[in-house]
Amino acid sequence: QLCSAFTAEQATYNHVKIHHGYTNVIGLGDSSTWKLPFLNRHVYNLAAGAAVVGKHQHLAHVLPLLPHTDLLRNVEWKAALRTLCCMFLGLYCHYWLVLHVSGFQSPWSALLCTPWSALLCMLLTRSLLAHPYIHVNIFQHIGLPMFAADRKPKRIHLMSLGVLNLPRNALLDWSFGHSLISCHVEHHLFPSLSDNMCLKIKPIVSQYLKQKKLPYNEDTYTSRLWLFLKRYEELMVHAPSITELVGI
């Protein structure tokens, strides 16, 4: 809500209810939600991150009342008020950075430039994080077994087969946390656990799945990138469209 102008409820529904509940189920929770079929693999890999991840967030901080009005209509008034307060708090944070970091000497001079500086700040920070964000979201699911909605296995099998952990990386750990990078299997099994707890239970989850003869998928970032580039047409261009299942 502070950075993206989405309500917490909307984020929970899209991520936990849809993506977690139907991981790698075709047409529901699979990673082809991030596809842009009209781009070739190299353009997508180098430039699409900023376009896909930032298409709402960039504008939301400059005109916070406009982009997500429909989302605010569909939540309780308390949630809408909380979201608006967080959105304006995000704007103020950008104002504070402009005033105290960029070298302006007075509040008035900063005030004149704040909207453009806030937009530039948002564009820069989103651009820095867009590529790894879209990459890890895709790399940790594509190329793994996928299932039809009426033939998906039990949850433990679904999460074991359809989720992959990347190795620890200081920059990605700091930017996104363990649950999105090196403990993604644990995060899918226990979405309410913190990053720290996901890291602590990782050896237990790994041992349990191996004892039950279930896969515990791990791979390197380089290997996943090569798979993505090699099978881009199959995995992203010709992947089926996504539809939401109503009434979860």
Q: What is the residue extent of each domain of the chain?
A: 8-152+220-237, 165-218
Q: Please tell me the predicted confidence (pLDDT) of residue 125.
A: 64
DSSP-based three-state secondary structure for 164: strand
Dump pLDDT digits (tens) for 81-122: 888 888 788 777 766 776 677 665 555 555 555 566 656 666
User: Average pLDDT of 12-41?
Assistant: 78
In 67-146 the beta strands, taken as DSSP E runs, fall at none
DSSP-based three-state secondary structure for 219: coil
- Are 4 and 56 contacting, i.e. CB atoms less than 8 angstroms apart? yes
Give me the helices (H) in the chain, please.
8-12, 41-54, 57-60, 69-73, 77-100, 107-139, 155-162, 170-176, 184-189, 195-211, 221-230, 232
Determine how many CB atoms are found less than 10 A away from the CB of residue 147. 19
- Are 113 and 149 contacting, i.e. CB atoms less than 8 angstroms apart? no
Higher-pLDDT residue of 56 and 52 is 52
Dump pLDDT digits (tens) for 197-237: 999 999 999 999 999 999 999 999 899 989 888 888 888 77
Q: What are phi and psi of 35, to 5 degrees?
A: -75, 150
- Are 119 and 212 contacting, i.e. CB atoms less than 8 angstroms apart? no
Q: Please tell me the predicted confidence (pLDDT) of residue 232.
A: 86
Determine how many CB atoms are found less than 10 A away from the CB of residue 145. 13
* Token pair of 203 as six digits: 């050896």
Q: Please tell me the predicted confidence (pLDDT) of residue 86.
A: 84
In 41-193 the beta strands, taken as DSSP E runs, fall at 164-165
